[in-house]
Amino acid sequence: MLDTPETTAKLIEARQRHVPRGVLTAHPVVLDRAQGAEAWDVDGRRYLDFVGGIGVLNLGHNHPRVVQAVQAQLGRITHAAFQVAAYPPYVALAERLSRLVGGGADYKAAFFTSGAEAVENAVKIARAHTNRPAVIAFRGGFHGRTLLGTTLTGMSAPYRQNFGPFAPEVFHTPFPNPYRGVADADALAALDELFATEVAPDRVAAILIEPVQGDGGFLPASPDFLRALQQTAQSHGIVLILDEIQSGFGRTGRLFAFEHADIAPDLVTVAKSLAGGLPLSGVVGRAEIMDAPLPGGLGGTYGGNALACAAALGVLDAFEQDGLLQRAEALGARLRAGLERLQQRHPSIGDVRGLGFMLAIEIVADRSSRRPDADRAQRIIDAAREEGLLVIKCGVHRNVIRFLAPLVTTDAQLDEGLGQLERALARAAP
């Protein structure tokens, strides 16, 4: 067994020796403990964590309800493989999520381990239901790092590299982006052109979309666009898969982002904040679609692990009892106002956008050309860390800084973070 280094410098050196470079770590920080929106490294330095495990910690670090639920389950059963024998937390979670997504209609849920697994299984379910091969996804979308997940992801760097050949029968179409001149009508017209030139709609099993693109730059799809997309899918017998892996569980001010559009989804993929930090993902959808695969067609050794399901039940308890959705709306309004004030003072902020508490700023060289400035975005991120604020980037040009602070962040912590960001913007200026 290796001796455990005690300082950041020693741990970073050990990380470089023993972990491959392909596993990127955004910050040269080694965390020792965390609570809520705060984290401390092994040297004792405090940070505000506005990354939250890349959207995994909407409830913050070590939320009491999650900790208590896991501790209680740990004394009963940790794992059995649901394909071998059932256990209560899995069934209870499936019932609650089916009700929350389906609103009383006949929905079912199956659980897996990672977001990529959820996406891949949603595609399998859609193909089994329609007996069609093709899937349409959107440019700028992110759907995982497996072969199919990478194929579905609509950006090249850093995800595709030389990892091909990729999965067949996957097509990409533009996502609405008003800041970059792609209106809803343009995106819908491009989809019609795709049907006319590349894949006939009667060959398409599913259309896969993030209601708010995450890694693609925190781009919200408007309610009108989502409703039009659902109408198009229904008219052609296509399953509409809503990827809520990053936008779900209160991030946008609703439990799921699709609720802003008032649509009833066919299939929804969930992960990240579902289990408050434990690895758990799922597909929730209409029963007649979910039942399409034959017995044995779905599953996974760790899928729906008992501890993770118990944690997820604790997460849902928090949303039902602690007013977190209202808090997300209030935090989102406060953060947006603060970012817009910074935009007025710093011309490198070309756009402030997002939905609810899922917000980002796009960094540009100048506002007239709107030319992406990835280098400056990275300088801002590095300077923010030096100020004590952890944030990360996104966007197809990697020039967007995203904010995924926990929903338990206090007003004082949010204001502190905005002050740290402003100092970082000033330090990163030319």
Structure tokens at 186: 């343009």
Q: How far is CA 262 from CA 102, 115, 215, 230, in A?
A: 12, 24, 24, 11
Task: Provide the pLDDT confidence category of residue 2 given band limits of 50, 70 and 90.
Answer: very low
Instruction: Render pLDDT for 118-137 as a digit per residue (tens, 0 to 9).
Output: 999 999 999 999 999 999 99
Q: Which CATH number fits domain 8-62+323-428: 3.30.70.2190, 3.90.1150.10, 2.60.40.420, 3.40.605.10?
A: 3.90.1150.10
- Which band of pLDDT confidence, cut at 50, 70 and 90, is reported for residue 409? very high
d(CA 259, CA 268): 12
Give the pLDDT of residue 157: 84
**What is the residue-averaged pLDDT of the chain?**
96
Contact between 397 and 155 (Cβ < 8 Å): no
**pLDDT tens digits for range 197-244:** 999 999 999 999 999 999 999 999 999 999 999 999 999 999 999 999
Domain 66-321 carries which CATH code?
Answer: 3.40.640.10
Spans of all domains in the chain: 8-62+323-428, 66-321
- Which residues are CB-neighbours of 47 under 8 A, at least 6 positions away? 29, 38, 39, 40, 41, 385, 388, 389, 390
pLDDT at 345 over 70: yes
Helical packing angle, 184-197 and 223-235, nearest 10° = 20
pTM reported for the whole predicted model: 0.95
How far apart are the C-alpha atoms of 384 and 9, rounded to whole Å? 20
pLDDT at residue 329, as a whole number:
98
CA–CA distance, 226 with 214 (Å, rounded to integer): 16
Q: Categorize the per-residue pLDDT at 1 as very low, low, confident or very high, splitting at 50, 70 and 90.
A: very low
